[in-house]
Amino acid sequence: MNDRHLSDLLAFLRYPSVSTDPARKEDVARCAAWLAGKLESIGLQAATYPTPGHPIVVARNAHRADRRTVLIYGHYDVQPVDEPELLEGETPDPNRHWMTSPFEPALRDGVIYGRGAADNKGQLFSHVCGVSEMLEGSRELPVNLVFLVEGEEEIGSVNFGAFLHAHREELRCDIIAVSDTGMIAPGVPTFTYGLRGIAAAELRVTGAASDLHSGIYGGAVGNPATCVARLVASLHHADGRIAVAGFYDDVTPLAEWERAAWSRLPLTDADLQRVTGAPDLVGEAGYSALERVWARPTAEVNGIGGGFQGVGSKTVIPREAFAKLTFRLVADQHPAGVFAKVKAHFETHCPRGVRLEVKQGHGGEPYLTSPNLPAGLAAQNALRRAFPGREVALIREGGSIPIVATFRQVLGVETLLLGLALPDCRAHAPNENFPVENFEAGIRLNRALLEELAQK
């Protein structure tokens, strides 16, 4: 491994660019400035654009009319660390605690550990290093290139759509490439042609004016925590199907070829169970686990609360309770339509005696393309060059990158999703990691991709 690439990536990972945390705003901005400086130093022209939230970094080479234009998108923001405090005498558990500090990246057995190592700094940076090597060697790239890197992906790209609209002329391109997804197994080149969308919602149920003594009033007033539990439980039928009226109306069924191809992948439901550590896999009847996460919509509770959370017991009827939900969507569902159905569902299912508020959160459209378009085939050639002798896996992903659908709407171009993270990369969790080997593969992939796309 080129030492400079590695030390630069470690420097990038040291910025605690947590987009959701207002206290980190300066760190996020410093991270953007560092990245812009890096892109300048490899020979591109870079600029940092402020937004009402976090800055956007754009860098480009000198464009020529006779070359294809490739836009590489990524994000430099990361998820919060969110770790329970280590109690006295407790030994750290890698499933709950960081074994090394999240913003002091560590190299252990050829693997880089740190927040953002996989999602998305490590993957993005392999493209930066790939371009840097090509510019160093020939001082030229085979394409017109734009790096477009945002700092709000993990909070729903709140200001990115407006930026894209405002700058759509300068950002005009033939194709977009993104490495912010996964590989199905080590060494298996993976091409992703679908992403789920997302619709976030928050439920707030309020009852009495204050917390009440549950002996004095229990039995006569509504309990907001019970109501939130009932509402959450009303989302699914016993067979795992979602019970919201009309929820599946716009769902495109998965194609027969996908079912057949996915059943032959070197990634099985048993692998999924092993990676998660869950005691069993559950979900919508009639689908394998891979089909459930890649091609079916879901309703998930991300957080739920209300009432007494302290040590011991306290006899109260809480005055309020809440649940934070996200629905993962597949083509051709839309976040606004799904939210309207969900809201109506909660309003008809809410028990009497309490007040219900259903708030809409961020949303993102799903994305589905064909793996067989010319650029898709070029990308698959590039993957074969980066991982010689291995067959390319064609998959969808369960995660969301909402901006990919926006790229299609605003710029009118498709996006190639070329993931480099492994199934056990622990994105969004403690001990997030990215093998140096994958970083190197990403650098090879970048070169092969730009060369292949130059001809398509």
Give contact residues for ligand BES (rule: CB under 6 A). Answer: 119-120, 153-154, 156, 180-182, 198, 362, 364, 397, 399-402, 427
Residue 282 and residue 218: Cα distance in Å, rounded? Answer: 36
Q: What is the identity of the amino acid at 375?
A: A
Choose the one of ligand BES, Zn ion, none that binds residue 199, judging by a C-beta under 5 to 8 angstroms depending on kind.
none
Q: Which is nearer to Zn ion, 365 or 432 (CB)?
A: 432
Radius of gyration of the chain (CA): 23
Cα(432)–Cα(425) distance, rounded to whole angstroms? 5
What is the closest distance, in whole angstroms, from the C-beta atom of residue 117 to Zn ion in the complex?
A: 12
Cβ atoms < 10 Å from Cβ of 139: 9
In angstroms, give the least distance from the CB of 399 to Zn ion: 7
Q: Identify what 401 binds: Zn ion, ligand BES, none; CB under 5 to 8 Å per kind.
A: ligand BES
DSSP classification of residue 236: B
Shortest reach from residue 209's CB to Zn ion, in Å = 40
Nearer to Zn ion, 119 or 150 (CB): 119
Closest CA to 317 of 231, 203, 206, 229: 206
Three-state DSSP state, 300: strand
Closest among 67, 59, 32 to 147, alpha carbons compared: 59
Cβ(321)–Cβ(224) below 8 Å: yes
Task: Give the range of 116-124, 141-149, 164-172, 222-230 binding Zn ion by CB under 5 A.
Answer: 116-124
- Output 242 or 403, the one with its CB closest to ligand BES: 403
Report yes or no: 287 and 296 within 8 Å, Cβ to Cβ. yes
Question: Per CB under 5 A, does 150 bind Zn ion?
Answer: no
Q: Are strands 197-206 and 320-329 parallel, antiparallel or unpaired?
A: antiparallel
Q: Give the residue, chosen from 119, 365, 432, 452, that forms a contact with Zn ion under the rule CB under 5 A.
A: 119
Rounded Cα distance between 180 and 253, Å, is: 25
Residue span binding Zn ion (CB under 5 A) among the ranges 36-44, 119-127, 265-273, 430-438: 119-127
CB of 72 or CB of 143, closer to ligand BES: 72
Give the list of residues 6+ apart from residue 145 with CB closer than 8 angstroms, or none.
44, 60, 61, 69, 70, 71, 72, 131, 450
CB nearer Zn ion, residue 67 or residue 428: 428
Furthest CA-CA distance within the chain: 81
- 181 touches which of Zn ion, ligand BES, none (CB within 5 to 8 A by kind)? ligand BES
CB atoms within 10 A of CB 174: 17
For ligand BES, the closer of residues 132 and 400 by Cβ is: 400
The distance of closest approach from Cβ of residue 105 to ligand BES in the complex, given in angstroms and rounded to an integer, is 18
Question: Which region, judged by CB under 5 A, interacts with Zn ion, from 111-119, 164-172, 282-290, 366-374?
Answer: 111-119
Partner interacting with residue 364 (select from Zn ion, ligand BES, none; CB below 5-8 Å by kind): ligand BES
Find which of ligand BES, Zn ion, none residue 399 binds, CB within 5 to 8 Å per kind.
ligand BES
| Contacts with Zn ion, residue ranges (CB under 5 A) | 119
